Amino acid sequence: MQQEQMQRGGPALSDARLADALNITIQRWQEACSSQQAQRMVPISAIHEQATNPVNDDLEDRWLDRGLALLKPQQRQLLQRHFIEGDSVRRIASATGVPQHQLRKSIRNAIELLQHWAEQDGLLPLRSCRQATASP
């Protein structure tokens, strides 16, 4: 559900909305998030080993390549131009005629979508679980 929402360009669903859609209480949702997060915890030494392991870097690079390929071509080109080629939002806006605020929003949406996919693939902790709130 969260992925579909992000692909439509909508904001992330709240914990309350997700819990409601799953027909569970928000407390149960938060417990599930805590449990899921605890399963991903590893000793600090393992993190250091992963960080220095070139195989891990290759896996992350391949994941990023696949993630970028899933983005809309305009989003992918915008991220490449801004982050890889180093063009400023102002320069891109001037060259394309697209307002700066719209470019910033497109960049933010593309990054949020990549973050969401990374969460789903276990590369990042789930945001909804990190920011669980008790209010509906």
Output the six-digit token pair for 10.
Answer: 């909508």
Which pLDDT score, from 0 to 100, does residue 11 have? 77
Other beta carbons within 10 angstroms of residue 89's beta carbon come to: 19
132 close to 33: Cβ distance less than 8 angstroms: yes
Per-residue pLDDT of 44-73, as tens digits, reads 555 445 455 555 567 778 888 888 888 899
Which of 47-56, 64-73, 107-116, 122-131 comes out lowest in average pLDDT? 47-56
Question: How far apart (Å, rounded) are the C-alpha atoms in residues 30 and 33?
Answer: 5
Which pLDDT score, from 0 to 100, does residue 70 have? 87
Question: How far apart (Å, rounded) are the C-alpha atoms in residues 19 and 14?
Answer: 9
Question: How far apart (Å, rounded) are the C-alpha atoms in residues 113 and 21?
Answer: 21
Which pLDDT score, from 0 to 100, does residue 56 have? 55
Which pLDDT score, from 0 to 100, does residue 98 have? 92
- Residue 30 CA: distances (Å) to CA of 6, 25, 84, 132: 21, 9, 37, 6
Which pLDDT score, from 0 to 100, does residue 38 have? 52
| Mean pLDDT value across residues 73-99 | 90
Which pLDDT score, from 0 to 100, does residue 45 have? 52
